[in-house]
Amino acid sequence: MAEGPLRVLLDGTPLLGARTGIGRYTAALSEELTSLSEVDLRAVAFTLRGWRKLRKVLPHGVQARGMPVSARLLRASWLRSQLPPVELFAGPTDVVHGTNFVLPGRFRAAGVLTIHDLAFFDEPGELNPSDRTLPELVRRGARKANVICTPTSAVADAVAEKLDVDRDKIVVTPLGVNPAWFTARPPEDGVRARLRLPEKYLLFAGAAGPRKGLEWLAKAHDAAPDLPPLVFAGPGPFPRLPRSGQTGYLSDVDLRAVVAGAAALVLPSRDEGFGLPVLEAMASDVAVVCTDIPALREVAGDCATLVPYDDVDGLADALRQAVTDPHATTTSTARRTHAAGFTWRNCALRTVEAYHQAVAR
């Protein structure tokens, strides 16, 4: 490796298009890495046509590279070999970081792979047809990577067990909370009218999907007519219920206002890798109800109400208590203090540790 900053090539493909969890992770991580003098960051996008857009969404000064080959063809090739190596298009680098489950083929560079969760291993039938090779790509990437990053210890344990990976090869890099969440305020009248928000509402924030437990949430909400209306914020399609509304994908500013204005946030996921909305709600001093699963237990700590998955009455009761007594579980100070312990700077520093470990291996 050359003297000077560590040359890192990041998969920036998740920065293109509407950003959900992995896009927000990649954006925040790239911002923090850019501010560290020990890292020389570049980014690459794996898409035939859209890679030039990467230049417009990267932090200032970060160079964009593209592999003008369709992602489908690249994945098919990387299932069998290291060809084409990403350095062929992006130039020499010390570390290649696959931010979105897939480790690109590489020539000499060390490989770091972020695995956000393993939900698709348990339910492969829920994958889109275009992602049917993802389980094998992740399995191969985990085997070929020098270091694996996961957002929680819960995911790290699952990766070690299900992918037969040495636990010492995994570095936990918890996600962070943008400081703007700590000053979030409920929506003003104009925003409330534009988004058709009721005066009081329960909120689900995130992308729809089979593992998000929305059918369970719908049953619990229907079983408790005394609860406020339910609002879904994020890319759908969401269940259409008698007492519900949908905002669609929201800008960061609107999302913070919608979360801050909620009577409670609910994350009823069957499986989750981290659960960033939980911490963002806590930073906004909003009560949180979520599923009692390992990753959410780890992230929520003692500051949320945890409910066993698929317990309809239990979820309805937890939501009712969150609405009537939002500080029954914890104080405002405890919520905000807990959320403040998760920073993107810490995520970046732990990721840089993973880079150095990968190069050393």
pLDDT higher at 286 or 84: 286
pLDDT digits (tens, 9 = 90+) for 285-301: 999 999 999 999 999 99
* Identity of the highest mean pLDDT range in 15-19, 63-67, 205-209, 344-348: 344-348
Torsion of CA 59, 65, 71, 76, to 10 degrees: -130
Q: What are the domain boundaries of the chain? A: 6-176+343-360, 179-340
In eight-state DSSP terms, residue 212 is G
- Assess whether pLDDT exceeds 90 at residue 361: no
**Mean pLDDT score, 333-353:** 97
The per-residue pLDDT for 127 is: 64
Band of the pLDDT at 109, cuts 50, 70, 90?
very high
Separation between Cα atoms, residue 113 and residue 181, nearest integer Å: 28
> pTM of the entire structure?
0.92
214-263 pLDDT per residue, tens: 999 999 999 999 999 999 999 878 988 889 999 999 999 999 999 999 99
Q: Is the pLDDT of residue 181 over 90?
A: yes
2 has pLDDT over 70: no
Q: Tell me how many degrees the CA angle 240-244-247 measures, rounded to the nearest 5.
A: 90
Name residue, tokens 């047809």. Answer: 129
- Give the chain's mean pLDDT: 91
The pLDDT value given to residue 163: 94
Fold of the 179-340 domain: Rossmann fold (3.40.50)
Distance CA 125, CA 39 (A): 39
pLDDT for the residue 119? 85
Mean pLDDT of 14-22: 82
Token readout for 142 is 């985990």
d(CA 233, CA 231): 6
Share of the chain above pLDDT 70, in %: 95
Which of 276, 196, 207 is closest to 231 using CA atoms?
A: 196
Specify the DSSP class assigned to residue 15. G
Q: Which of 178, 174, 332 is nearest to 255 (CA)?
A: 178
Q: Is the pLDDT reported for residue 78 higher than 80?
A: no
Residue-level pLDDT at 159: 96
| pLDDT tier for residue 130 given thresholds of 50, 70 and 90 | low
- The number of helix segments (H) and strand segments (E) in the chain equals 15, 13
Q: Do 319 and 266 contact (CB within 8 A), yes or no?
A: yes
pLDDT at residue 1 in the model: 45
106: phi > 0 → left, psi -120 to 50 → alpha, else beta; which? beta
Residue 147 identity (one-letter amino acid): V
The CATH code of the domain at 6-176+343-360 is: 3.40.50.2000
What angle is formed at CA 158 by the lines to CA 157 and CA 162, rounded to 5 degrees?
A: 125
Task: Assign 86 a pLDDT band (cuts: 50, 70, 90).
Answer: confident
* Region of poorest pLDDT, from 7-21, 155-169, 215-229, 306-320: 7-21
Do the domains 6-176+343-360 and 179-340 sit in the same CATH topology, yes or no? Answer: yes
